[in-house]
Structure 1
Amino acid sequence: MTARRPSLAPLLHRMRDRPPGLGASLLGGAVAAGLGLGTLAVLVLALWVSSPYPDSGPGGALHVAAALWLLGHGVELVRTETLSGAPQPVGVTPLLLLALPVWLVYRAARDATDASADPEGPPPVPARTAWTGVVAGYVGVGAAAAVYCSGADLRPSWSGVTVCLPCVVACAAAAGVWSGYGRPPEPVLGPLRVLPEPVRRLLLGTDAWARLATAVRAAGAGAAVLCGGGALLAGISLVLHGDTARASFLQLTEGWTGRFAVLLLGIALVPNAALWAASYALGPGFTLGTGHLVAPLASDPAPLLPPFPLLAAVPDAGPGTPLNWATGLVAVAAGATVGWFVARGAVPQGGEGEAPPQGCWPAGRTAGALLLAALLCGALLAVLADLSGGPLGAAALARFGPVARETGAAAALWTAVTGMPVALVVRLWRLWRRRPNQDTGPARGATAAGPARTTARHNPGTPAKPRREAKPPALTVGGPVDPAEDERYDVLPATDPFPSAWEPEDLSRTSRWAALTEASAAPQAPAPPAPRKPDAEPESPTPPTGPPRQQPPSGDSAPPEETG
């Protein structure tokens, strides 16, 4: 009659023993995903509302917003409504769309650690708990968005949803948790222990954290110079092809709403154009479809491309000219920047004339740090180049953008070749600026009479103490002290609070008393001798006037006690 209901004690026990902060981390990850998705949805809905010819209802606009949000994470989309009826992939990720999700995940993971600046505050949330919660919350919202737009005309590929989306979120969350804990070196140096000992010592040495931090900063600076130089090259080429770019911009659409949408898309693709131009300056170039390479040495004729303003900046087909070859200066500038940053880490900043600190790196360690920076710069450029490109269709449009492995290898090679001499030369220059001053003025002014006079003040048979090294003039309220005056006061005996064990106390006191008496007594001029009378007997010399000169006591008698 009575059925025994299951006990809720195990469930309550598991809920009570769950890691602290897991719920807040899940909520933080979900909120970060919602903010990014909501921002893009508001923008797409605003364009849809202002469009005079909307093709679909608000549901279609929301589907497009969700698909574009997934595309910003590197997820490849599939377009089903085509003229041929065959699905066409869309894989070029606007890197400006990628910046917003990465920043939101980073902030959510950093705040999830709940690390207090007060030392007496509560302990932070465990790193694994914060990372797991943020990633799970964000990926859960991303999976729901993928399911929502899976039946639309622009749908995501499930391979990208299961691989690209978690990888981007996991990396950004790991960076946020690491920053929340104060950027400790242990999580970064831990994975390097899998390397063999000779390789690890060659790349990092004993001061692994300092060398790795310097290499990371140098690699980031080199990548920034490459991207900035690429943006400059793209802007110059776009200005030179201004008529073509303006015609393509007006040809795409007629209404102001459509033109504004094209303008926003072009702005979102500006980082992609900068990376394409950087790969062009490095040498490998980029592809405009299968088998159509655009490089400084030669450019193949491009296929029939859609009219888009940024594509108008592509260099003309044919062999390269000196103007095309001059783009290599961007790669040289990036290598010089990496070498400068490595040299700054090898010899820390200091004033002129200061002695270099003990932590200055030798030439071999500086070269090793530069090679490590070159490898990191090449890896970063390879990842960014792979994200900036992708397919825009099938057949001839299957590949757009730079080849990742070629761009990364070229960036590492250029950085190592051009940065090595810069790093070594700048290191020597900084060491030369910080060489110690060779001014030995007080020592050069000393003569041989100085040591002899100091030795003569000691009693006969007493070994003379070595003269102390000359010091620079001391600073006083009235200005620097005269070296001669400083030397005069230097010979005055002072009471030694820690007398030497090998020097007898009587002998040291006798020597100090003799030196004090000789220094305090004023020299007396001898009286002129009286004229001698021829018939009188020679008179004894007249004793000098003035107080009798006090003679130093003999070795048997002790001098008067010193009053301090």
Structure 2
Amino acid sequence: MTRAVVAFLAAFEAVITAAIGLGVALAPLTLVWAVQYHMATSWAVFWRAAADAWLLGLGVDAHVDLDRLTALGLGLPGAVPPFTVTIAGLGVALFTVVMGARIGRRAAETPFVLSGAISAIATFALAAWAVALTAQADVFGPVVSQAAPVAGATFAAGIVLGVGIDWAGNRDHVPAALAHAFGAEVRAVVGASLRAATGAVALLVAASALFVALLLFAHFGRAVSLYEALQTGYLGGATLTIAQLAFLPNAVFWAMSWLIGPGFALGGGAAVAPGSGLAARLPGVPLLAIVPSHSPSAAFVAVVIPVLCGAASGFLTHRLLKRSTPPFDTPLDLVLVAVGTAVFGGALLALLAWWSGGTLAPGVLAHLGPSAWQTGVFGALELGVGMAFGLAAGHLRGQAMDWTPLARDRSVVEKRPTPEPDFAATRD
């Protein structure tokens, strides 16, 4: 394929990504407009709502200016000054990153990876800017100046991830600048640290998702009661469910911070952490039914989960180091990999914690999410300790396997019967 074809295909896929993300929010709202409101109101209101939800999910802030009656109807203080909504529903962002990674991997398979990446990012940023222009309203509207750079940065993260995955899968492909700047041993240690940190964080996110699923199952009756109290109807309940699904990744990352130890904030002085209780009443959102009103001090035992995730990643990483050419299995190499994993893993955890938090409204919902630096520091320590144990276990296992053939050969020699002397041959 030529450079122009690669750029055109990447731009086309970027448009498809934007259309799907926007359509997921627009489809249920259009049904509400057609069935519940019988098309009596302007469809532009629902278009702006879908555009706002999509842009918020990508990380674009939104300005809110409510009058007194509207603020009281939403349960907010009467004279609310204009405020900014900064929290993002990460379901939209994660979908965008996954689609961007898919485009990045396809572009990396061609000689024109840079052209494809620039074309896709520019097209997606332009689409987000155009949508932001159509979503302006007096009460609620996205920040137009943030639409192109923030949405483009979210999509670019997926592009970079896809290119990195393709390069990591191709062991023979090493950029010339990287090969000249760093030696083979440095690249092996840094690469192993990045893989180990990514694997440990992925295991921790999976454990957090399982934890959230168990909480949803345990508090299912309470969530149903909140749905019934809201009286949203079938279409309104479906729309509310889709909106909560967009914030489900946020809940997973908050649960991850809870497992690490620092917990997360829910505004108004409410902090959710092992051994603490809520200091404020939460809004009647069904997803918040999983938040416990109090957790015992014994819940701090949950910090063993990040340690186990680091240990599992360290054990698997040691096998890769052992099989590399030449093998990197010295104590210094293992210490460097453990330290590098702690640094990279802590940085990734801090980024996820920062990404999942923000402000939704004044008052109770003013500060939502975990502390980025606390999650990063404590997570780095726990993952680093687990990684050290995993690497040490793999190293000791490798040494034991090296001695096993020698011990087996020695036992065979000792059990071999000694031949009896032939007296007849001696006599002759």
TM-score band by shorter chain is 0.7 to 0.9
Conserved 8 A contact 1:25-1:134: yes
Q: Give 1:237 deviation, angstroms.
A: 3.7
The reply to whether residue 106 of structure 1 matches residue 96 of structure 2 is no
Distance 1:436 1:360 in 2: 21
Structure 1 runs of 4+ with >6 Å offset: 17-20, 441-446, 523-526
Q: Give 1:85 deviation, angstroms.
A: 5.8
Change in Cα spacing, 1:54 to 1:92, as seen in structure 2 (3 Å) is farther
Conserved 8 A contact 1:131-1:177: no
- Name the structure 1 match of 2:289: 312
Conserved 8 A contact 2:261-2:300: no
Distance 1:381 1:427 in 2: 27
Conserved 8 A contact 1:94-1:272: yes
Gaps of 5+ in 2: 72-78, 420-424
Conserved 8 A contact 1:130-1:177: no
- Name the structure 2 match of 1:249: 227
Give the 3-state SS of the residue equivalent to 1:347 in structure 2.
Answer: helix
Distance 2:229 2:243 in 1: 15
Give the 3-state SS of the residue equivalent to 2:334 in structure 1.
Answer: helix
Distance 2:43 2:180 in 1: 51
Change in Cα spacing, 1:48 to 1:214, as seen in structure 2 (3 Å) is farther
Distance 1:56 1:379 in 2: 48
Change in Cα spacing, 1:33 to 1:291, as seen in structure 2 (3 Å) is same
Distance 2:39 2:83 in 1: 23
The reply to whether residue 331 of structure 1 matches residue 306 of structure 2 is yes
Give the 3-state SS of the residue equivalent to 1:298 in structure 2.
Answer: coil
Change in Cα spacing, 1:128 to 1:228, as seen in structure 2 (3 Å) is closer
Distance 1:192 1:403 in 2: 39
Output aligned runs, 1:96-495, within 5 Å.
96-112=91-107, 115=109, 124-151=110-137, 153-178=139-164, 183=170, 186=174, 190=178, 206-302=184-280, 304-317=281-294, 321-348=296-323, 359-435=327-403, 437-438=405-406, 439=409
Distance 2:103 2:386 in 1: 40
Change in Cα spacing, 1:51 to 1:332, as seen in structure 2 (3 Å) is farther
Of residues 26, 32, 46 in structure 1, which corresponds to 2:17?
32
Distance 2:426 2:243 in 1: 102
Q: Give 1:392 deviation, angstroms.
A: 0.9
- Name the structure 2 match of 1:91: 86
Change in Cα spacing, 1:264 to 1:22, as seen in structure 2 (3 Å) is closer
Distance 2:45 2:320 in 1: 54
How many residues are treated as equivalent by the alignment?
408
- Name the structure 2 match of 1:492: none
Change in Cα spacing, 1:49 to 1:99, as seen in structure 2 (3 Å) is farther
TM, length-normalised to structure 1: 0.64
% identity of equivalent residues: 25
Change in Cα spacing, 1:23 to 1:425, as seen in structure 2 (3 Å) is closer
Change in Cα spacing, 1:257 to 1:421, as seen in structure 2 (3 Å) is same
Which residue type is aligned with residue 380 of structure 2?
A
Give the 3-state SS of the residue equivalent to 1:375 in structure 2.
Answer: helix
- Name the structure 1 match of 2:62: 77
What whole-Å deviation, never above 9, does each CA across 1:240-293 have from its counterpart, x for those lacking one? 444432322222234111112222223332221121111112111100115332
Distance 1:406 1:188 in 2: 38
Distance 1:176 1:283 in 2: 32
Q: Give 1:96 deviation, angstroms.
A: 1.7
Give the 3-state SS of the residue equivalent to 2:405 in structure 1.
Answer: coil
Distance 2:269 2:180 in 1: 39
Give the 3-state SS of the residue equivalent to 1:164 in structure 2.
Answer: helix
Larger radius of gyration: 1
| Structure with higher helix content | 2
What whole-Å deviation, never above 9, does each CA across 1:318-372 have from its counterpart, x for those lacking one? xx524422322322322322322332233349xxxxxxx8614112211211221
Q: Give 1:147 deviation, angstroms.
A: 0.8
The reply to whether residue 46 of structure 1 matches residue 46 of structure 2 is no
Give the 3-state SS of the residue equivalent to 1:384 in structure 2.
Answer: helix
What whole-Å deviation, never above 9, does each CA across 1:36-63 have from its counterpart, x for those lacking one? 3334333432343343587842211111
Conserved 8 A contact 1:63-1:149: yes
